[in-house]
Structure 1
């Protein structure tokens, strides 16, 4: 049964606990792109799930790393497990062995990578006057989230001066030098997310801050399991905190919700949107809308008993 706070959602001090499990009996629709990608690889979602499940089951060191980072960030390990399972079921196949991720991480040290678009490095791009509104932001999350908003409002799909910019995500245009949409490592993080989490990870885990001037280090970090799981944990912790402080929901007991937010991104923006919607619903005498899982989070909740048994 759901525990409800005295205050309504929308107040920072409100606490409406989202209970474990799925509220929908059936899985929400899976995007066509994910289905097409899986079919073209000659596999199925179930086989991909079984592969990542096998990696978790057979690698005690990986499970230990997950538990260690979950404890450091004060979250249930199932949130990290859910993110890993969702990504490797609907995005890319997991490698059979954790060692392969280490090998891949080292390989990025020998590549000369650039965070740039149309010959302009992102470190120069963010010096444009449009980004001055972000100058007073403190912390890597606030700073890079602000810059992402500026990209969406001032550049995305627009012509600025004589230069046209793609109608695509900031992370895809500037931070994925191999091809747009590419993510890496056991957590399938994109570089922009890692940059946003840099301060939190540095504070909690003691890792050196990431910098756009060293793209190779960013890519090594998100490929290396000894480093990237901390960034996965930090991302999930940010989602939990954002929904509690902004929207008034405690989602810490529902890994499917945090997995959904890990999949779709922008947890802070979505928390504000949910708060605004529920404020309107309250004014209309309607019940508040609870946070909801998508296809990705639904799978995590559905498989949770099996995954919990591993830990």
Structure 2
């Protein structure tokens, strides 16, 4: 009897804790916070004009890919279930990338062919002749040494880059005023991303542990750049990194900012485009601390499109 009473008491305590925790998380409203689309970066405008295209044509092209390639849509649904997210979030990320960054290919097979074309290529992650694994061995990165999980480790290293190296001269060597990923992780040219989800190599390294745990993909190593590029270019692998990125942004905003963004694909698409979700969630939490009214996360031009086209994109499912 005593054992039964204890079990009932523990169950009651558990039930009383769950609503309190849930009550502390605010659900972000659906739709856009901005009535009009925020400004589209000039680089995206120039890139689109340079191919004699328009954003609407690029949107329709990627939409057609998703609407007609049943194999691709099946993969999106499968990977979304594995990471506990709605497939509309993965669709939003892919549509945003192919509307504002690159043109979509005509079919999934073309992405396999493109990935195969890089097989055997020899390249490395470095800047100014210094490999990134040597760079992160510098004493400035000592505070990251205790972080074994890939997301925490590479996020810490990115923070050190921002605070100690970006735009500065250290030990007689000057470093560009640019993102860590653009300086050290783009062996072809700055800003280049690859594959169906246009995943950044640094993002892939950050998410490697989670993707390995959930999808069974071998862990990535910055010393093996070719393996990283294979992972983000092969559609059978890259979709896992897309889903993991979205899952991570949802978790970061829930745990750090106390907000559930899982019902707003425009917000998750915005974060997919911008990255740095931990820092952005912390900044939002700081803005809401003591604020008279709730400050909600806002969509950028990329996420705004996804919310604006949401009914059309949901019809693909």
**Fold equivalence (TM over 0.5):** yes
Matches within 5 A, 1:50-61: 50-61=60-71
Q: Which residue of 1 aligns with 2:183?
A: 173
Q: How many residues align?
A: 300
Change (3 A) 1:27 1:164: same
Contact kept, 8 Å, 2:34 with 2:298, in 1: the verdict is no
TM-fit CA distance, 1:12 = 9.0
Aligned partner of 2:303 among 279, 288, 297:
297
TM-fit CA distance, 1:296 = 0.6
Q: Which residue of 2 aligns with 1:79?
A: 89
What secondary structure sits across from 1:110 in the alignment? coil
CA displacement, residues 40-92 of structure 1 (integer Å, 9 cap, x when unaligned): 21100000000100110110010000000000000000000000000110111
Q: Which residue of 2 aligns with 1:111?
A: 121
Q: Which residue of 1 aligns with 2:247?
A: 237
CA displacement, residues 137-173 of structure 1 (integer Å, 9 cap, x when unaligned): 1300000000001111111111111111111111011
Q: Which residue of 2 aligns with 1:306?
A: 312
Equivalent-residue separation in structure 2 for 1:157 and 1:27 (angstroms): 31
Q: Which residue of 1 aligns with 2:201?
A: 191
TM-fit CA distance, 1:22 = 1.8
Alignment TM-score, normalising by the size of structure 1: 0.94
Matches within 5 A, 1:98-177: 98-177=108-187
TM-fit CA distance, 1:19 = 2.5
Aligned partner of 1:37 among 33, 47, 50:
47
Contact kept, 8 Å, 2:80 with 2:86, in 1: the verdict is yes
Equivalent-residue separation in structure 2 for 1:270 and 1:280 (angstroms): 18
Q: Which residue of 2 aligns with 1:94?
A: 104
Q: Which residue of 1 aligns with 2:13?
A: none
Equivalent-residue separation in structure 1 for 2:55 and 2:303 (angstroms): 14
CA displacement, residues 168-188 of structure 1 (integer Å, 9 cap, x when unaligned): 111011111000000100100
Aligned partner of 1:225 among 235, 260, 264:
235
**Greater relative CO (CA pairs within 8 A, separation 6+):** 1
Higher mean displacement: 102-111 or 13-22: 13-22
Q: Which has the larger radius of gyration?
A: 2
CA displacement, residues 194-239 of structure 1 (integer Å, 9 cap, x when unaligned): 0000000011111100001110010011000000000000000000
| Structure 2, gaps ≥5 residues long | 1-18
Change (3 A) 1:12 1:273: farther
Measured on the aligned residues, the alpha-carbon RMSD in Å equals: 1.5
Equivalent-residue separation in structure 2 for 1:107 and 1:170 (angstroms): 26
TM-fit CA distance, 1:17 = 0.8
| Structure 1, gaps ≥5 residues long | 1-5
CA displacement, residues 94-140 of structure 1 (integer Å, 9 cap, x when unaligned): 11111111111112222101101111111111111111110011300
Alignment TM-score, normalising by the size of structure 2: 0.92
Higher mean displacement: 262-271 or 101-110: 101-110
Structure 1 runs, 4 residues or longer, greater than 3 Å off: none
Contact kept, 8 Å, 1:243 with 1:251, in 2: the verdict is yes
